[in-house]
């Protein structure tokens, strides 16, 4: 058994499927990674996937496919990816237990690697799906 990298809400899965459907061609899903940037130090990065990387973890819900980059896994363990529409914005949101702070504008975050011992003690272990 391994740890669940992250989960998707129905709203996030629906939005991923819409993005892939609108992209057409060889689009198979999206890839989530973490990159350095912003005033808090890190940003979530989302890219279209046409050819999955065998080292990525695959998260699927209702036909939506999200691949997680291997270098991002420790920062995303236990994260819930959602999609919300408000009066002022629409976009993916991340409820990440590894987030220690965020910038005022909400565009970047500070993340720490997940505490694997704490996850195991809570019983958050589930089967991982490799892509």
Q: Answer whether residue 131 is part of any domain.
A: no
Token pair 């997680």 is at which residue? Answer: 68
Q: What is the pLDDT of residue 130?
A: 43
Average pLDDT over residues 84-88: 92
Distance between CA 121 and CA 123 in Å, rounded?
5
For the chain, the helix, strand and coil percentages under 3-state DSSP, each to the nearest 5:
20, 45, 35
More confident residue, 121 or 93: 93
Number of domains in the chain: 1
The pLDDT confidence band at residue 3, using thresholds 50, 70 and 90, is: low
Backbone angles phi, psi at 20, to 5 degrees: -65, -45
Give me the CATH number covering residue 95: 2.60.300.12
Q: Answer whether residue 23 is part of any domain.
A: yes
The pLDDT confidence band at residue 126, using thresholds 50, 70 and 90, is: very low
H helix or E strand, kind and range, residue 1: none
Domain that includes residue 85, residue range: 2-126
Residues constituting the chain: 131
Is the confidence at residue 108, as pLDDT, over 70? no
Q: What is the pLDDT of residue 58?
A: 94
- Copy the structure tokens of residue 51: 């050819």
Q: pLDDT tens digits, residue range 24-78? A: 889 999 999 998 876 657 888 999 999 999 999 999 999 999 999 999 998 898 8
126: Cα separation from own chain's centroid: 17
Q: What is the pLDDT of residue 25?
A: 85
Q: What is the pLDDT of residue 13?
A: 97
Is the confidence at residue 21, as pLDDT, over 50? yes
Q: Answer whether residue 46 is part of any domain.
A: yes
The pLDDT confidence band at residue 18, using thresholds 50, 70 and 90, is: very high
């Amino acid at each position: 058994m391994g740890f669940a990298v992250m989960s998707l809400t129905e709203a996030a899965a629906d939005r991923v499927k819409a993005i892939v459907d609108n992209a057409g061609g060889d689009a198979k899903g999206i890839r989530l990674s973490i990159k350095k940037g912003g005033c808090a130090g890190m940003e979530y990065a989302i890219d279209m996937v046409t050819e999955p990387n065998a080292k990525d973890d695959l998260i699927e819900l209702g036909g939506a496919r999200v691949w997680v980059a291997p270098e991002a896994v420790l920062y995303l363990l236990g994260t819930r990816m959602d999609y919300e529409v408000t009066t002022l914005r629409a976009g993916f949101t991340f409820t990440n237990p590894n987030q220690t702070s965020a910038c005022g504008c909400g565009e970047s975050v500070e993340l720490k690697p997940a505490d694997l011992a704490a996850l195991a003690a809570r019983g958050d272990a589930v089967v991982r799906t490799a892509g």
